[in-house]
Structure 1
Amino acid sequence: MMTGGQYYSQFLLVVLCAHASRFGEGRLGEHLISRARLLLGTEILKPSSIPTVQALLQLSARELAFGQISQAWLYSGMAFRMVSDLGLHHSGGQIQSLGQLTTEDLEIRKRLSLLEPLVSTLGGCPLSRISLSIAPPTFTVDDFAEHELWSPHHGESVNLSNLKPGEYPAMKAHAITCFENYCKLAVIINDIMLRLYSRTSNAETDQTLKDIKNRLNQWREFSPKHLKYDPENLPEISPPPQILTQNMLYYTTVILLHRPYYSAPAHRLECRTSSDYLEKLLLLLEKTFGCTRMTYIMAYCIYTGATVMVQDVKLGDLEAATKMQTFLRALEQGITSCPLVQRSIDILTNSLKSDSSNTDLSGAGALSTSENLTFGHFLPAFPYCDPLVDYGNMANSSTMNVDSFSLLDCFPEYHMENAVGDWFWPP
């Protein structure tokens, strides 16, 4: 920035500040985002550049958190087009063979190319194919960013931790390995969405789903030890949020893989177990940092875990009811920094209200699990549907208005309800 180098632009700086300001107080963010949109008009008239791609992706993430889904797609679409213009979609070996690029150039291009499937998948727009390799990187890793010590900010107006100043022990950020591991998981999530949640996908073979399950298991097994946290043996203080969130996203992915076969007991158990683990991780997050400054990924993980609990709450499961309160409390706290969360809350609360007259929280007279599941009451896998619809009494998913997410099937359970999912056998 001081030298006006090729990787700096005023547009990128303003977007980064605008995106970060949503975690603070006041109206600074509104002024910054207005400024960023004005600068965008000038930037798109210039040749494609890496700073513009980075700014557009950040702008897309910010719009998504605020529920501006169409705008988020618009910005990310422009970014992906520029990625292609710049040749960043080629594999690392092809880029490296260009020769005239410095180590810094190669590293920046590698990270940006890895970011494309991550943003696409988390934005609800799975790629039809992903050409990049998810093998371990061969480029130089930025050791400073990887080993930089991190602790939550404490200031006069903003505190990013529930702990007192000095109580949080500075921990390594592991920013690079965390990012690379995120991108590898995004490729698996992308395949799950294409195979199970795409309206245009064909029926998948058991072998295909077994392969995805094996890849997910291997991802977890070979994830760096410093990024893995066991929900049954958590520390007293949370690691940096990006690390804890990655663990939450893993269990969310397990749910996404199994929920289309929710009617089968083995798959239902996998979903419930993962939801239980999500709640444990969420409690650690809430205890250390609170949930008032929530990212979109956090919000979606919480929503996914909560959807699994709804039927058990209606069956009178007191433990599930307690966990549901944890999920809803976290989502309520996150509305300020991530307004899109309101849709998730509406879906969950409307579903819990439906059939409330049949719900006995004491457990007496509750329907058996098998009897209740025959009602076919499922919640949308993605909280992008019309919040005015009563999801608890949804009998026909074809009436849903899924807006710009029409390519996603939010209710795969309806056409897989009689499938037993023999591709999965519990250990």
Structure 2
Amino acid sequence: MQALEARIASLETFIQTLASSDDQERQVMLDEVGSGSSTKPAAFDRQHEGERLSPARAGRLRKTRSGGSAHFYGGTSLYHSVSSPVVVDSTETASINMTETMIGQTLWNSYPIQFAPHDDVSQRLMAAFFNMCIYREFFLRDYDIGGGRHYSDLLLFAVCATGALATNEALLSEIFANQAQALLYPSLNHPDLTVLQALIILGQLGIGRGQASKGWLFCGMAFRLAHEMGLHLDPNNWQNTQEPDVEREVLRRVYWAAFVVDKQLSLFFGRPPALYPQVSDVRGTERIPYPPDWANLLDTYIAPGTSVTAFEDGPALVNLVIYRIELYRIVHSMITEIFENRRTNAGGTVVAATITRIHLSLTRWLAGLPSNLHWNQWTIGQLPQWVYHLHQLLQKPESSFDHDGIEICYESLGAMLRLIRSYGRFYSYKHLPLDFVQTLSTAAGTILMRRHLSNLPWGDAEISRSLDLITQAMEDIQDTWPCVKEILNSVLNARQTEAAVMPDVDPVMDFDFLAAQPPILSDVDGNEWPSFENMTTGSVLSGEVGFQLTS
């Protein structure tokens, strides 16, 4: 009876809302009900939210061993029947630590560890690494004293494996990646923050080296650990926590690093994301003060004689992280609300309204960029590397098969080519992260699409010049990110074959850019939309770089 009464109240509220809406809003509401995506109006949800939902953030964080990371258990967990957080006595703690030491020593003896943590080679490669998923100041502090919450040999070896890519030492990268993986599996018995960070690094490294399945699994493990450790809840919500402000900020950065990588891989593979904003309330990051001993650590391990303000937490870099996070929040909406396969039956009106909303979000995002992150098509002077990279993330042209959509796609391609060309004048492509592979693939696909639709010869000056730029960049990064080799070979084969007979491509690396006309999804109204694997995510209209999603 209560359920029936609630249903009647819901329908009454829906009818009242429908009667007071204009034609456009009324159509959207009817389409949503018809598609089954909504059975109750938002007003009813807000009215009865307190009656239906369990208390916000129901759950608790518990520490299962001394000095270990927190573990989060939600409202349905059987651990709620256990009283306060578990306290492990000193005997049990000593036993756990002794077991872990024995496992670590066994692995150290079983695998040929060629470079110890404080070896000169390890320190040199560590200095070449930079990623905001690690708060380098605390990492170096704990590295200097030989242990601590923010350092582990596992994380160091993962850092060195990536640092070796920046120094063009592929063999060393392989060696350090193997050393890290030798320590990874026993670390999963009692994972901490450094295990999560190492998984993110090793996952991206594996994907870039062509080990797509292993890399995908490593990153997936990191995303699961983020929930297991409670990182999806802002540390300010944790009860009885004694964490200092800096430690809380580090936890926020690790969560947002995982969130960004999750969206990048979702785009890379065309797969659903793992971390959803709806289940997280983590605040945005902010600048962290330098620790008192930072000048000495910087001089010892990174760059002797360099100013302490020259690295990591400068205002420009923190702004980069903040706006990058906001961009990927919008990308998450784009993935889940437009390109997710389960939404292909949504009415055309609903999808068009969603696209308009996301377009406005991207426009606001672009308009709000601070001056130290600006770039436009007429910028001539040198900018910091991360500014170019941020705007490359914004440029993802794909095909919309109407006249306006294609023209917007071509304009976006032009901006992307200018970005790539500008970056190459001042920096090496080898230092760009894994997402640059998708940038190049998307650009190549758009060039080939333009040639096909316009029936241009391979010798056309613009087509030839654009492909030369893209293939040269692919050749430059193929030792850093070997996964680009298949894409490069496909482009070269297509260019060399006038008949345009497409070679077989590994489906993991197939971005559909070689197809004469990428697959199209049709909704129930007969409207056509690009499939998730062929996302239409970018354009440039004029002036600053921006997005426009088109039907």
TM-score by length of 2: 0.57
8 A Cα contact 1:207 1:423, kept in partner: no
Provide the C-alpha distance between the structure 2 equivalents of 1:70 and 1:295, rounded to a whole number of angstroms.
19
Counterpart contact for 1:117–1:127, Cα < 8 Å? no
Identity of aligned residues (%): 17
CA contact (8 A) 2:209 2:481 kept: yes
Question: Higher mean Cα deviation, 194-203 or 70-79?
Answer: 194-203
Secondary structure of the equivalent of 1:35? Answer: helix
Could you tell me which amino acid in structure 1 is paired with residue 200 of structure 2?
A: L
* Aligned counterpart, 1:67: 210
In the other structure, the counterpart of 1:18 is 161
CA distance in 2 between counterparts of 1:17 and 1:294 reads 16
Distance 2:413 2:549 in 1: 21
Structure 1 position 396, deviation (Å) = 6.9
SS at match of 1:391: coil
2:487 and 2:509 in contact (8 A); partners too: no
Q: Residues 396 and 89 (structure 1 numbering): CA distance in 2 closer, same or farther, change over 3 Å? A: closer
* Cα distance in 2 between the residues matched to 1:383 and 1:243: 32
8 Å CA contact 1:352–1:392 kept in 2: the answer is no
Alignment correspondent of 2:426: 288
1:295 CA drift (Å):
2.2
Deviation at 1:37, TM superposition (A): 0.7
**What is the aligned partner in structure 2 of residue 180 from structure 1?**
322
Partners of 1:343 and 1:309 lie apart in 2 by 17
Equivalent residue number for residue 31 of structure 1: 175
Is the contact between residue 444 and residue 513 of structure 2 (CA under 8 Å) also seen in structure 1? no
Check the 8 A contact 2:162/2:201 in 1, yes or no: yes
Please, which of 220, 233, 254 is the counterpart of residue 379 of structure 2?
233
Quote how far apart the aligned CAs of 1:103 are.
0.8
Q: Do the aligned partners of 2:518 and 2:534 also contact (CA within 8 Å) in 1?
A: no
1:56 aligns with 2:199: yes
Hey, what's the Cα distance between the residues in 2 that align with 1:176 and 1:242? Answer: 11
Q: How far did residue 131 of structure 1 move?
A: 2.9
CA offsets 1:11-58 (integer angstroms, 9 cap, x no match): 111110111112224421121111101011221122x31111111111
Q: Deviations over 1:78-102 (max 9, x none)?
A: 112211121101146524x654211
Contact kept in structure 1, 2:446 and 2:513, CA below 8 Å: no
User: Match for residue 130 of structure 1?
Assistant: 277
Measure the CA separation in 2 of the matches of 1:335 and 1:220: 32
Partner Cα separation in structure 1 for residue 282 and residue 356 of structure 2: 20
Counterparts in 2 of 1:412 and 1:42: CA distance versus 1, 3 Å: closer
- Which residue is equivalent to 1:110? 252
Instruction: Identify the match of residue 384 of structure 1 among 479, 493, 508.
Output: 508
> 1:215 and 1:331, CA in 2 relative to 1: closer, same or farther beyond 3 A?
same
Q: CA deviation at 1:140?
A: 4.9
Query: Aligned pair 1:249/2:387, yes or no?
Result: no
Q: CA deviation at 1:202?
A: 2.8
TM-score by length of 1: 0.73
CA drift of 1:249 comes to 0.8
CA contact (8 A) 1:279 1:323 kept: yes
- Assess, with a 3 A threshold, how the Cα gap between structure 1 residues 412 and 140 changes in structure 2: closer, same or farther: closer
Deviation per residue, 1:344-370 (Å, 9 max, x gap): 22343344456x259xxxxxxxxxxxx
Is the deviation greater in 170-179 or in 199-208?
170-179
| Distance in 1 of aligned mates of 2:281 and 2:466 | 35
- Please say if residues 17 and 32 of structure 1, whose CA atoms lie closer than 8 Å, have aligned partners that are also in contact: yes
1:331-410 equivalences in 2 (<5 Å): 331-353=474-496, 356=498, 384-385=508-509, 391-392=514-515, 409-410=532-533
Counterpart of 2:360 in structure 1 is: 214
Q: Which moved more, 1:123-132 or 1:242-251?
A: 123-132
Which shifted more, 316-325 or 52-61? 316-325
Aligned residue for 1:101, secondary structure, equals coil
Aligned to 1:88: 231
Runs of 4+ in 1 over 6 A off after TM superposition: 132-136, 170-173, 394-398
Displacement, 1:206?
Answer: 0.9
| Residues 203 and 103 of structure 1, relative CA distance in 2, 3 Å threshold | same
Gaps of 5+ in 2: 1-141, 295-309, 522-530, 537-547
Match of 2:405 in 1: 267
> CA distance change for structure 1 residues 250 and 201 in 2, over 3 Å: closer, same or farther?
same
Pair 1:8 & 2:151 matched: yes
Deviations 1:367-395 (A, max 9, x none): xxxxxxxxxx9xx9x983459x9934578
Q: Is the 8 A contact 2:447 2:467 kept in 1?
A: yes
Structural RMSD (CA): 3.5
Note if contact 1:66-1:340 (Cα within 8 Å) is conserved in structure 2: yes
Assess if the C-alpha contact under 8 Å between 2:416 and 2:443 holds in 1.
yes
Gaps of 5+ in 1: 149-169, 359-376, 399-407, 414-421
Partner Cα distance (2:478, 2:510) in 1: 18
1:423 to 1:305, Cα distance in 2 relative to 1, 3 A: closer
- The residue number in structure 2 matching 1:417 is none
Q: CA deviation at 1:424?
A: 4.8
TM-aligned CA distance change 1:392 to 1:281, over 3 Å:
same
Q: Is the 8 A contact 2:375 2:391 kept in 1?
A: yes
Distance 1:390-1:81 versus aligned 2 partners, 3 A rule: closer
